[in-house]
């Protein structure tokens, strides 16, 4: 399978520019990649959108590291972040809320409704991997029904090498709704990306070392 999208996870405008020069054709913008990616500050968002204006920039909306079960205050922060990103000219965001190993549909609906009002396109990030395996198909269809077009997933715990998780990733690819893209990530590199794409039959891959 020919890789058509190489999405590079970065945490600075300098890294975004470097990845773009090397051939990345989509950027996921974060702070603190060491924590799995958090919301970048407004200056970084502005500078990146100005400098990377020819390919999509997906902006992380995640107020802290750790789990993905957020308090009301944190959910308000995420809503404020969505508004800020829209005000700054962003078009693509990524977030996820998971509580007790289930998609938190109430919180997600609140965030997705606001994102839709702001004309922001939404990606579900690796919080998806915290959902119980037997609930993931239901979650995928719910997300698709509510306008999410892509899910970033490692296929399991990040501590597990992605090559070990290919069978589950393959299942997700096979059962996903037709209009929902499964984007594998976490441990995908320039060296193994083609093997993974060929194995899964996907054309999009994600990683901080994807180039």
Q: How far apart are CA 9 and CA 33, in angstroms?
A: 8
Single out the residue of 3, 36, 24, 27 nearest to residue 128, CA to CA: 36
pLDDT of residue 42: 97
Q: Residue 49: which domain range?
A: 5-207
Query: In sequence order, which residues have a C-beta less than 8 Å from that of residue 100 and are 6 or more positions away?
Result: 69
Q: Are 193 and 207 in contact (CB under 8 A)?
A: yes
Q: How far apart are CA 11 and CA 126, in angstroms?
A: 17
For residue 121, what is the DSSP state? E
First to last CA, the chain: 17
pLDDT of residue 1: 84
Single out the residue of 24, 28, 18, 21 nearest to residue 3, CA to CA: 24
* Number of domains composing the chain: 1
Q: How far apart are CA 198 and CA 154, in angstroms?
A: 16
CATH code, 176: 3.20.20.380
Residue 95: in which H helix or E strand, if any? strand 92-95
In order along the chain (211 residues), what is the average pLDDT of each group of 10 residues? Answer: 95 98 97 96 98 97 98 98 98 98 98 98 98 98 98 96 97 97 96 97 96 91
Helices (H) and strands (E) in the chain, counts: 7, 10
Single out the residue of 160, 144, 190 nearest to residue 8, CA to CA: 190
**45, two tokens:** 């968002």
111 backbone dihedrals φ, ψ, rounded to 5°: -70, -40
3-state class (DSSP) for residue 79: helix
- Give me the residues paired with residue 184 across strands: 153
The residue assigned the tokens 């190993």 is 101
Q: How far apart are CA 19 and CA 114, in angstroms?
A: 31
Q: How high is the mean pLDDT of the chain?
A: 97
pLDDT of residue 31: 97
């Amino acid at each position: 399978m020919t890789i058509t999208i190489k999405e590079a996870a970065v945490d600075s405008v300098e890294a975004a520019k470097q990845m773009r020069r090397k051939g990345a054709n989509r950027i996921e913008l974060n702070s603190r990649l060491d924590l799995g990616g958090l919301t970048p500050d407004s200056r970084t968002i502005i500078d990146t959108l100005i400098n990377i204006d020819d390919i999509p920039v997906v902006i992380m909306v995640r107020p802290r590291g750790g789990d993905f079960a957020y308090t009301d205050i944190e959910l308000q922060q995420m809503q404020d972040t969505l508004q800020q990103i829209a005000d700054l000219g962003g078009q693509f965001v990524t977030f996820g809320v998971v509580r007790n190993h289930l998609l938190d549909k109430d919180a997600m609906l609140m965030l997705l409704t606001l994102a839709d009002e702001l004309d922001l396109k939404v990606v579900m990030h690796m919080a998806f991997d915290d959902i119980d395996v037997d609930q993931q198909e239901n979650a995928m269809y719910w997300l698709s029904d509510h306008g999410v077009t892509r899910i970033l997933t490692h296929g399991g715990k990040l501590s597990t090498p992605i090559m070990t998780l290919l069978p589950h990733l393959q299942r997700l690819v096979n059962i996903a709704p037709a209009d929902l893209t499964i984007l594998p990530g976490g441990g995908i590199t320039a060296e193994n990306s083609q093997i993974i794409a060929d194995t899964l039959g996907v054309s999009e891959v994600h990683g901080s070392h994807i180039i």
